[in-house]
Chain A
Amino acid sequence: MPDFSRCILHSDLNNFYASVEMLRHPELKEVPLAVCGSFEDRHGVVLAKNMPAKAAGIKTGEPFFQAKKKCKDLVSVPADFPAYVRVSEAVREIYARYTDRIEPFGIDECWLDVTGSRNLFGSGVGIANDIREAVKREIGVTVSVGVSFNKIFAKLGSDMKKPDAVTEISEENYRQTAWKLPASDLLYVGKATARKLSVLGIATIGDLAQKDEAVLVRELGKWGKLLHDYAAGEDRSPVALAGTGREVKSVGNSLTCYRDLTTDDDVHLLLLLLSDSVAARLLESGLGRASTVKISVTDSELDRYGKQGKLPRPTRNAKEIADCAMQLFQALYPWQRPVRALGVAVSDFSEKKQLTLFGDAEEEEKEERLDAAVQKMREKYGNRVLQRATVLGDKRLAEMDIKGAHIIHPEGHRGDA
């Protein structure tokens, strides 16, 4: 039985980067606009688009030259992350007028728990509309807000009407609204899971909610129970209190390469670079050693794949991370299309040093001292001063400074640490 007592909002800034850039360039409001990140020859990849660009079929993640072919009038502006962070903070200050239970999810989304706030400020929908209007009036960007009794449905709600809208998924209407949506709309249901679900005869979220939980657990493992709960409106995860800095759960880097990759060797090269960067950040972060590696792959049609696996022992060594990443890649990727982008992330941190049965401890310590020395050199002279021999083989790749340009990934939404 779902808990209907809570009132949760999910606020999602519409076309966020593009909206901020339209404040900087008001003359471009009616013009198709793409905000691009900068990579070598491609003049960048589309990170965000405004409504006219969306209408012209421009997709986030595609290279600018490709987008420009779809739409000749498309204008590109460079991304300015510090500005987006400032605007995001200003918007969160508006949320803070209504509640202290605010949980950001990436730079442009937030959950708000307004259960108690209703005594002071009115109904959930009323608060959502007040917020929507205040953001528009004071900042000049728009939000879509979902109102519901749990985080999952609130997020579904904010996706339903865009831009500048409020959608309620209530106890009375969730079967007519949330349950009619495709199962792939549910948080954490990706292409692979959606396919597994359709094999089971599950097309909508309602189908998922009404499916026998035992069947789902058998087919999907513990995800089966979780997704069943989400679909049934039974997610009870709390919205984290503002100011309780959630501990970092993973450290990762991803990169869109300047050219599509077509061989295992190409991929291995990039995974090495990414693992170097992740290892450096892990060392800097003081989080300890990681036990799990997750890779993400995006192919040339922008389909995404992911796989995670355990490291043979906790480590923060770049080569060990890269080896594990490569193994995961080879097990995961069917090579039906070239690879457009790769990501490597590590998680499950622990401080302890673990001795292996075969006494590699000395070897590991040597590698660690090497890593630490390399780190020192990089801090002094910049990230590109020392390169792996393999990387020097591909000159363009060697020139990329990945660590300097890492991207903000939202982590899991579950408030419980």
Chain B
Amino acid sequence: MEYRKVCIEVIAKFSSEGGMRPIELKWQDGEIYLIDRVRFAERAPARVSAILPIRYTCLIGGREKYLYFEPDKMQWFVEVAGA
């Protein structure tokens, strides 16, 4: 299975206790998706080009999706199946 890296616009919240979570993301077509819940945030490698990303397992509209954050680029991306 091939994956493509798609960098996305994300609005994130920093809590007063420390820590960052994504609140909503804007897709390429302009549509805004709200992130209902973050299940896990852990360091995990991606299937596309990224070094040391943090993988957020998010619930969006009832479906699970991985959102990745690259700390050194301060950038969020998702993996889209298909070449």
Contact = CB atoms under 8 A, between A and B. Distances in A.
A26 B47 contact: yes
A138 B45 CA distance: 6
User: How many interface residues does chain B have, given as a range?
Assistant: 10 to 19
Contacts of B51: 20, 23-24, 83, 86-87
A138 B49 contact: no
A97 interface: no
Contact of B44 (A20, A25, A83, A137): A137
Contacts of A23: 45, 49-51
Contacts of A137: 44
Contact of A90 (B42, B49, B50, B52): B52
A365 B72 CA distance: 47
B43 interface: yes
A2 interface: no
A400 B47 CA distance: 39
Nearest to B48: A26
A304 B50 CA distance: 37
A30 to B, nearest CB: 13
B41 to A, nearest CB: 12
Contacts of B44: 137-138, 140
Nearest to A140: B45
A35 to B, nearest CB: 14
A75 B11 CA distance: 38
A139 interface: yes
A86 B49 CA distance: 16
B43 A90 contact: yes
A26 B48 CA distance: 6
A86 B42 CA distance: 17
Nearest to A134: B43
Most buried by B among A23, A137, A139: A23
A86 B43 contact: no
Nearest to A138: B43
Nearest to A89: B52
B52 A139 contact: yes
A24 B43 contact: no
Given A90-B43, A138-B43, A139-B43, A26 B52 contact: no
A24 B52 contact: no
B57 to A, nearest CB: 14
Most buried by B among A24, A87, A138, A140: A140
A25 B49 contact: yes
A19 to B, nearest CB: 10
Contacts of B47: 26
Interface string A123-163: 00000000000000111100000000000000000000000
Interface in B5-57: 42-45, 47-52
Contacts of A24: 49-51
Nearest to B71: A86
B49 A26 contact: yes
Interface in A313-336: none
Interface in A15-41: 20, 23-26
Given A138-B42, A138-B43, A139-B43, A86 B52 contact: yes
A48 B57 CA distance: 34
A89 B33 CA distance: 35
A145 to B, nearest CB: 19
A167 to B, nearest CB: 25
A139 B53 CA distance: 8
Contacts of A138: 42-45
A140 to B, nearest CB: 3
A86 B45 contact: no
A86 B48 contact: no
Nearest to B42: A138
12 contacts: A20-B51, A23-B51, A24-B50, A26-B47, A86-B52, A90-B52, A137-B44, A138-B42, A138-B45, A139-B45, A140-B44, A140-B45
Nearest 6 Cβ contacts at the A-B interface: A140-B45, A138-B43, A23-B51, A24-B49, A90-B52, A83-B51
Interface of B: 42-45, 47-52, 72
Given A23-B50, A138-B44, 19 more contacts: A23-B49, A23-B51, A24-B50, A24-B51, A25-B49, A26-B47, A26-B48, A26-B49, A83-B51, A86-B51, A86-B72, A87-B52, A90-B43, A138-B42, A138-B45, A139-B43, A139-B52, A140-B44, A140-B45
